[in-house]
Amino acid sequence: MVTAIVLVRTERERVQEAAQAMLGIEGVTEAYSVTGPYDLVVVVRIPDFERLAEIVPEKIAQVPGVARTETMVAFRAYSNYDLDRAWSLGFEE
In the chain, where the domains are located: 2-76
Instruction: Classify domain 2-76 at the CATH class level.
Output: alpha beta
What pLDDT, in 10s, does the model give residues 6-25?
Answer: 999 999 899 999 999 999 99
Q: Which residues pair with 8 in a beta bridge?
A: 40, 69
Please list, in sequence order, all residues whose beta carbon lies within 8 angstroms of the beta carbon of residue 81, skipping any fewer than 6 positions away. none
What pLDDT, in 10s, does the model give residues 38-92?
Answer: 999 999 999 999 999 999 999 999 999 999 999 999 998 877 666 566 555 555 5
HSE-CB for 74 with a 13 A CA cutoff: 16
Torsion of Cα atoms, 78 then 79 then 82 then 83, to 10°: -70
Q: Which amino acid is at 41?
A: V
